[in-house]
Structure 1
Amino acid sequence: MHRPQQALVALAAISLTAFPLAGCGAKGGSAQADGSGPGTLKVVATTTPVADFVRNIGKGRVDLLQLIKPNASPHEYEPTPAHLQAIGQAKVLFENGAGLEEEWLDKPVQAAGFSGRTVDTSKHVTLRQGEDEETGKPADDPHIWHNPRNAKIMCRNIEQALIKADPDHKADYHANFTAYADRLDALDKDIARKIGSLPRENRKLVTNHDAFGYYIDRYHLTYVGAVIPDFSDQAELSGKQIDSLVQKIKAQKVKAVFGESSLPPKTAKAIARQAGVKVIAGDGSLYGDSLGPKGSAGDTYLKSERFNTKTIVDALK
């Protein structure tokens, strides 16, 4: 979804000083400040995974605003006045890249008068290719973080950008990256071991939308289909496509359909019911496009990937 241009202009025209940054987490966006105060580096991150990476690499040194709130679709983002204020003041803007923000980020950045550096954290990641459902043209899969090896590349890009913006604290950023990279390596090995414990004939995945391609490729699962067969979560299945997916589930003896925390489970439940298999929905849903809210099983990247893996393995045993 996109806010009309005139609405953005109106937001930019508001006296933004009337909206203190500390209060901007309550309504439009899960702004989260880390290490705020004199001398800290003001940065903005677009998505929940990118923001979590920035927190881990920049801990104690960055004053961070996260644009997308937990369990929310990036495609539905609408800027608040406080967000425009924070974007305008930021020295660095971290984005996921791979096309995830291209339809909604430019307008708020322009309206905010941002003059800092934009960092595409997908740089050097090998992107998967798919097909745009609307245009039929090739499209990059933006869900790069679901492979911890890609997450490590993203964190390296963040580390280098923070060092460039704040060279006096190079040693801190490097130490934080090294420690977190070790945790990502451990996560990767743990997921591989757990998925590897499944019988090969059970390693088949049907999800709410096509968000787990990098995970599927890395851990050698079979992608059977998705309730929304698109990298975006805004598309819809036709009746014919639903029937086709149900038949695939039956023919390939798929054991479960997995819902996602940021998407309504209604269609996933209906497909699972027609196919005669269990559906993983509600609190047990996978974290696909977004991390979860504070206190949830998926409120950090590491926790969300562990939770997803446990959920998948438990359902497909």
Structure 2
Amino acid sequence: MLSSGRAHNTLTLALSALMLLLLAAACATPVSGPVVTTGVAETAPGGEATDAHGGGAIHAEDEYDLPDLSPVTLVEGERLRVVATTNILGDVVRNIGGDQIELTTLLPVGADPHSYNATPADLRMLSEAHVIFIVGEGIEESLLPVIENRGGDSALVAVNTGINLMAMDAYEEDEVHEDEPEEAREGDEADHDHGLDPHTWTAVPNVMHWVEIIEHALSELDPANAETYEGAAGAYLAELEALDTEIEAAVAAIPAENRKLVTDHETFGYFAAQYGFEIIGTVIPSFSTLAAPSAQELAALQRQLEAEGVRAIFVGSTVSPTLAQQIANDVGVRVTPLYSDSLSTSDGPAATYIDLMRYNVASILAALE
């Protein structure tokens, strides 16, 4: 199902591709078992992360590395043992693997993937798995030492591989506060990350890319069921394409001047880029919830909310709303809960990835219309 890379006809593009490969190799963290290397995005002069061919911030690279996986030997009645880190990723894997795999999702509902600590049971499941799917690019930052030192010979597959990841600079273009003292801004620069945004699932086309990565890996490891995986992936891709169209139609009802988002941390950048929103600011100016804002940053954010006429602060279910609520009370806006890093319980409004996206869009529309 994965399309092959297009040939490049100019020396400039060839050199750019080579530089990206060398950069990825230099920055990669060694892990045991096969691993997909993650595509690295360049930053355009305007701050938006793009690929070497000038593409948009949320589309897949033309060329990216896929895992070199060998078929797993399964005895009669044995299924491929699969581990997914986050429950959002687990839902996507489930839609492709179905009953052909034995799926375990590490993070329970409501757990923050940035700060989750593995349990002894998690360690056992990681060591016994045939393949481990991770989002990658730091979303599982607290789990990485455990994953890197897992026992066994499981394959490790990062589904963000090949996606043109957005750089922190893309957010900061709109969030620099000129009235903040220079010394404070320099201190803030040192305290917060300036890497690449791993929250790719907030834009549906990126999850469609995940599907292709997952289907490829499952088919390579379990070729006897490859046709089943391919069929399930095709059906799920059709659902996701319809979802993307549905979201675009729903968002069209919001006046352009009202499409302003303030969130708990830098998590909705891909959503904003895909569906025409502007990120005005964040309570935590970082991709990670483990960071903490300074007093100067909070004061500057409050001034910006007042100046922009922002109507709501959106807070994910895995993050404490206390700080956002304090700012909202001071400014006189509402706090609107969303599901960003985790699904809801099975009887909740965001039990699946598709449900999550529909719930979030409906909540954003209700807050901004």
Q: TM-score by structure 1 length?
A: 0.83
Match of 2:155 among 84, 105, 117: 117
Structure 1 range deviating more: 46-55 or 302-311: 46-55
Cα distance, 1:97 vs. partner?
1.3
Match of 1:53 in 2: 92
Structure 1 range deviating more: 199-208 or 68-77: 68-77
Match of 1:256 in 2: 312
Q: CA RMSD in A?
A: 1.7
Match of 1:220 in 2: 276
Q: Deviations over 1:277-297 (max 9, x none)?
A: 1222xxxx1111222222111
Q: Deviations over 1:105-126 (max 9, x none)?
A: 232552x413111111111211
Match of 2:129 in 1: 90
Structure 1 range deviating more: 190-199 or 233-242: 233-242
The one-letter code of the counterpart of 2:363 is: T
* Residue correspondence of structure 1 range 221-300 to structure 2 within 5 A: 221-280=277-336, 285-300=337-352
CA 99–60 in structure 1, closer or farther in 2 if over 3 Å, else same = same
* Residue correspondence of structure 1 range 1-317 to structure 2 within 5 A: 38-110=77-149, 112-130=150-168, 134=190, 138-280=194-336, 285-317=337-369
Identity %: 36
- In the alignment of these two chains, the number of paired residues is 276
The one-letter code of the counterpart of 1:193 is: A
Aligned partners of 2:118 and 2:146 also within 8 Å: no
The one-letter code of the counterpart of 2:155 is: R
For residues 219 and 191 of structure 2, the distance between their equivalents in structure 1, rounded to whole angstroms, comes to 40
Runs of 4+ in 1 over 4 A off after TM superposition: 131-137
For residues 225 and 146 of structure 2, the distance between their equivalents in structure 1, rounded to whole angstroms, comes to 32
CA 137–82 in structure 1, closer or farther in 2 if over 3 Å, else same = closer
Cα distance, 1:260 vs. partner?
1.3
Aligned partners of 2:193 and 2:286 also within 8 Å: no
Greater relative contact order, per chain length (Cα 8 Å cut-off, separation 6+): 2
Cα distance, 1:59 vs. partner?
0.3
For residues 194 and 326 of structure 2, the distance between their equivalents in structure 1, rounded to whole angstroms, comes to 30
Aligned partners of 1:41 and 1:62 also within 8 Å: yes
Aligned partners of 1:133 and 1:230 also within 8 Å: no
CA 266–103 in structure 1, closer or farther in 2 if over 3 Å, else same = closer
